Amino acid sequence: MNDSEESLGSADGPTVSGETVLITGGAGFIGSHLAEALVEDNEVRVLDNFSGGARENVPDEADLIEGDICDEETVAEAMDGASLVFHEAALVSVEESVENPPASNRINAAATVDLLECARNEDARVVLASSAAIYGHPDEVPVSEGDSKDPASPYGIDKLSLDHYARRYHDLYGLETVPLRYFNVYGPRQNPEYSAVVNVFFQQARDGPLTIEGDGGQTRDFVHVSDVVQANLLAATTDHVGEPFNVGTGETVTIRELAETVVEVTDSDSEITHVDPRPGDIRHSEPDISKAREKLGYEPTVSLEEGLRDLAEIEGLR
């Protein structure tokens, strides 16, 4: 990790210590950053099948278990003796979920139930990665946790199922669970095969042109991975279990503004062009994060421009 990456989301944030921690998907984007934040003061286990993550993302001090989240026996063995679980393993592509709904359901929903059952046997707290996709096309923004949910993809349906199961396991069995509804997470180590718009724009800043689908007026809340780690660590210690929290910055930009900022921070000569809009694209996505602020003590620390400048340096584009 370079100095600029270390400087983001800094040192005075929440801490977790003395736990036996299992991170599913811990070789992936968010999971590996969690492992890095936890490994010094905890016994950390990473469960990953490397379908989207990479071995080099896993800290040397972590115990690496190569296996599939859909294998109940593997999950039970990885969970043995764990006191805290961060469930990040997922099929994260909306497009893949549309092409193969059974696989999405198996990985994102059914495997979560098995994991919760294993955690129930160990009495381990579980912090789970839910998603803004559960809200679908909101009538109004910002959306708060109690607003209506109408997911527009199998991925969103599966994440809503995960979210419900997490809360029901708390209500029915007393299991300490905290589902976190991530909005648009970006930062170092994001899988380039997952076509998140920040990744796409960085690649296009190098090769040109930056291509916007539609008029660019779509709005999104882009949250840096270090702030997502902060939210997870707060969820690991909060008394407010059995309830969900939005995780974003509370601020939005248009896709056009994002493209312009990427061009600026990369000193790119690439033009910005427009193509036909993507069918079914959500027009506005913006979270109300007041609940996370009030109950978790969560406060985003990395501005979009700062995060993009840091990422540009890491990617060798500055």
Residue 102: partners with Cβ closer than 8 Å, 6 or more residues away: none
Would you call 155 a catalytic residue per the annotation?
Answer: yes
Contacts of 195 (CB under 8 A, 6+ apart): 93, 95
Nearest CA to 81 out of 20, 145, 162, 143 is that of: 20
**Where in the sequence numbering do the catalytic residues fall?**
155
